[in-house]
Structure 1
């Protein structure tokens, strides 16, 4: 059996409808963008004609987002589809932990607070304080 047939068999043996790690990362980006814009799951669901539970499933990566729905989400969240699907190849970056944090209220709050600080020196001090506190928490 040739490589082409083996590759096809590998692809066809996977459940095409099951969500995978890429779906989780797309969901994290969806949640991050929604929270950036301060839109509730209910509001986004209403704009798309789906329930807030469906938005939750998209954000958790439980349900896959089809191409047409991804375009609707991008339009509703004033972005483009590339925002959601950029660099999803396996092994790219450290986005998993970073993306998970940015998709939390605390992550959004930290970023928003840091953006309001104009002085680079002050931002660096805050970063140093956060790193010191993190190290203390790990040591405890």
Structure 2
């Protein structure tokens, strides 16, 4: 049985890897394991050891704590209310957003806020 924390950490690994445009194979090679193991981590089937999580965090250029951010949200996602970052469209939007220069990002963010308030 999958533990909600393992599922949450796995989702955070997948999201960060995807935002960086890395494949499971590339991440696996960078940390010295098989890509099947990355698949198991990302689905929460296998727990990530502390040392392996350290290696993954280093490779994905985030602090280890990144994988635990929003953990309360993991409980919501397992209760069927959904996980916004599980939506491929949301991830593609995030990737495109962070590919923009900072000035453009700021203007787009301001526009989105105005449109959201008007809705």
Q: TM-score range by the shorter chain?
A: 0.7 to 0.9
Of 89, 106, 113, the residue aligned with 2:89 is 106
Unpaired runs of at least 5, structure 2: none
The 4+ residue runs of structure 1 with deviation greater than 6 A are none
Using the size of structure 2 for normalisation, the TM-score is 0.73
Query: What is the alpha-carbon distance in structure 2 between the residues aligned to residue 126 and residue 30 of structure 1?
Result: 31
Unpaired runs of at least 5, structure 1: 1-17, 132-140
Who is 2:43 aligned against? 60
1:41 maps to 2:12: no
Using the size of structure 1 for normalisation, the TM-score is 0.63
1:30 maps to 2:7: no
Alignment RMSD: 2.6
Query: What is the alpha-carbon distance in structure 2 between the residues aligned to residue 114 and residue 79 of structure 1?
Result: 18
Q: Is the 8 A contact 1:35 1:103 kept in 2?
A: no
Who is 2:53 aligned against? 70
Query: What is the alpha-carbon distance in structure 2 between the residues aligned to residue 103 and residue 113 of structure 1?
Result: 16
- Give the structure with higher Rg (CA): 1
Who is 1:84 aligned against? 67
Cα 1:104/1:42, change in 2 over 3 Å: farther
